[in-house]
Amino acid sequence: MNDKKIPRVDLPPDVRLDTLAVREGLPNSPWGENSEALFLTSSFVHPDAATAAARFANEEEAFVYTRFTNPTVMMMERRLAAMEGTEACIATSSGMAAILLLVMGLLKAGDHVVCSQSVFGSTIKLLAGEFGKFGVETSFVSQTDVSEWRKAMKPNTKLLFAETPSNPLTEICDIRALADIAHNASALLAVDNCFCSPALQQPAKLGADLIIHSGTKYLDGQGRVIAGALCASEALVNDKFVPVMRSAGMSLSPFNAWVVLKGLETLSIRMQAQSARALQLAQWLEAHPAVERVYHPWLASHPQHELALRQQSAGGAVVSFVVRSQQAAGAALARRNAFAVVDATRICSITANLGDTKTTITHPASTSHGRLTEEQRLAAGITQGMLRVAVGLEDLEDLKADLARGLDPLA
């Protein structure tokens, strides 16, 4: 079975991340193209009936139908897996589709999940709402208190789900500690690595079994496509996820895969440059008289700064901060001041998206976290005076001036 395999790029065995990001994929076609080809085709032809039969029976690895096999998509999968340090990867139509595939592939009615309460809002809705309907129960626990995860474990816990750093507070969870809790209970740990990408953090090296990506964010990096991926061992991908993909079809289009594939080539330099700008902007904000508090993992004032230094190689491009307002002034004025800072910008894009070369600014309490009650928001630490900036690649001095336009009058 499977003795005929799709060939691999001939790379030396010890090449490093930046080389894999540019070179891993598939061998080029007989035409010798240097830039990877975009295979926009729904199906693939076979030389004869017997070969077609062998391919459909999985006796020969080959491209069959783009719902589950396509060369451009496979190039992206192999490249991302290599960068994450996992054996395999399966691309999906969106980041949320990767989480859908994760749960459909691994869990059944009666199973239990432990998940951070600080994960992406749609992840909470998918787990608690949609999968709750199908009898998969989820307990939501603290992002940072490992003992809460331990206490939430049940005999039927099959999956732990974390996302680090979190949005918008950049809270860090301890991947190694969560992997130990999972493995002691014969459960698996999944980590949503959207904010750092493999350029800054490789959860598999810290014990995570499954890595989730929204390719929409830093992997594409220029805000062009919706894409997702799930990285894991070959056994999990082939046995648990490919069969679900084959029948459920949350497939990534080859065009979107190609955009992400080419985005991966510049991921590392983008992440380093955007993180460096974000840190400098965070330090400048910390010194600004109209700013009460700043959140960025590379600031010494960050509550999990030491942990961040251990498991990330840079702080990431997201900075959140609270606009100062008089103690007794209340939430309405705090919101008005935050809105004034947003509305004074002339460069930043006012959008809740992130992971773009264009810097974005958003007021989480009225956008990404607008559907929560004020009580839930305060429990999550998201106040009316808080703004989130996802730093892109514009000149840092121009970004400071853009924020100063709204902040200086409040000082």
Smallest separation (angstroms) from ligand PLP to the CB of 175: 15
Q: Which of 25, 168, 221, 228 binds ligand PLP (CB under 6 A)?
A: 228
Counting contacts by CB under 6 A, is residue 217 touching ligand PLP? yes
Shorter beta-carbon distance to ligand PLP: residue 96 or 173: 96
Smallest separation (angstroms) from ligand PLP to the CB of 228: 5
Counting contacts by CB under 6 A, is residue 223 touching ligand PLP? no
Per-residue binder mask for ligand PLP (CB under 6 A), 112-131, x = binder = --------x-----------
Q: For residue 27, is it left (φ>0), alpha (ψ between -120 and 50) or beta?
A: beta
Q: Which of 24, 171, 192, 220 binds ligand PLP (CB under 6 A)?
A: 192
Shorter beta-carbon distance to ligand PLP: residue 192 or 209: 192
Counting contacts by CB under 6 A, is residue 392 touching ligand PLP? no
Stretch that binds ligand PLP, among 42-50, 88-96, 331-339, 362-370 (CB under 6 A): 88-96
Smallest separation (angstroms) from ligand PLP to the CB of 210: 13
Counting contacts by CB under 6 A, is residue 95 touching ligand PLP? yes
Counting contacts by CB under 6 A, is residue 94 touching ligand PLP? yes
Counting contacts by CB under 6 A, is residue 169 touching ligand PLP? no
Q: Which of 106, 194, 236, 361 binds ligand PLP (CB under 6 A)?
A: 194
Counting contacts by CB under 6 A, is residue 252 touching ligand PLP? no
Please list the residues that pair with 293 across neighbouring strands: 322
CB 88 within 8 A of CB 160: no
256 Cβ contact partners less than 8 Å away, ≥ 6 residues apart: 93, 215, 225, 226, 227
Smallest separation (angstroms) from ligand PLP to the CB of 256: 10
Q: Which of 143, 201, 214, 368 binds ligand PLP (CB under 6 A)?
A: 214
Enumerate binding residues for ligand PLP (CB under 6 A).
Answer: 94-96, 120, 163, 192, 194, 214, 216-217, 226, 228
